A and B are shown apart, each in its own frame.
Chain A
């Protein structure tokens, strides 16, 4: 069974550009969450999608947006990139909306802003 797939693995952009990151969850998983991880900041929750609806949202500016498609694949978009957006972006999926279901993570996309 394939795991969570994130593309691309590495990305270099310049300030002011926009970027789209993609996440394909494990087959059958309907919940997809996105996290930003910077050195010393731990995992910062961005948003969660469940059955194509954004269910939860973290404390990030409106430049960060996302969506989920009918096949549960998800994309995250960041517009007007800033230097501080340089981070590892992790996507995680889970099977059911149950407290005993772990999140399974992709390998992440490392975004560098020049």
Chain B
């Protein structure tokens, strides 16, 4: 069965510094997609970035980048130049092969300090 692990329940980072949120996954499928979502205190889930299992390069989207290490089954999110508005819950998720539902990790609460 697929599983996502996020070992950091909470993280603190100083404004303007970079932070890495950890995500490891477990799957026996050869193809899968990995996603990161942000959930501010208001509750909406915002899609941030995607990494495909066969992608050769790490995904980047603005200040977000993914440190994808397939052999280690890890897909860590890197946020550069943190802003106060980055304070939120962050969820790592995996989409397995056809017909299976998304699997979400337990989340990491990030707090950006001024």
Contacts and interface: CB of A to CB of B under 8 A. Distances in A.
B50 interface: yes
Given A42-B106, A42-B107, A99-B32, A110 B101 contact: no
Interface stretch (A14-22, A63-71, A78-86, A100-108): A100-108
B43 A102 contact: no
A110 B43 contact: yes
Interface in A50-84: 55-56, 58
Q: How many B residues touch the partner, as a band?
A: 20 to 34
Interface in B67-114: 91, 93, 95-107
Contact of A99 (B33, B101, B106): B33
Nearest to B32: A99
Interface of A: 33, 35, 42-43, 45, 48, 55-56, 58, 88, 90, 92, 97, 99-108, 110
Interface pairs A-B: 7 shortest CB-CB:
A105-B45, A99-B33, A56-B101, A42-B106, A102-B47, A43-B104, A48-B101
30 contacts: A35-B104, A42-B105, A45-B101, A45-B102, A45-B103, A48-B101, A56-B99, A56-B100, A92-B45, A92-B102, A97-B98, A99-B33, A99-B52, A99-B53, A99-B97, A100-B33, A100-B52, A101-B33, A101-B95, A102-B47, A103-B47, A104-B47, A105-B46, A105-B47, A106-B44, A107-B42, A107-B43, A107-B44, A108-B43, A110-B43
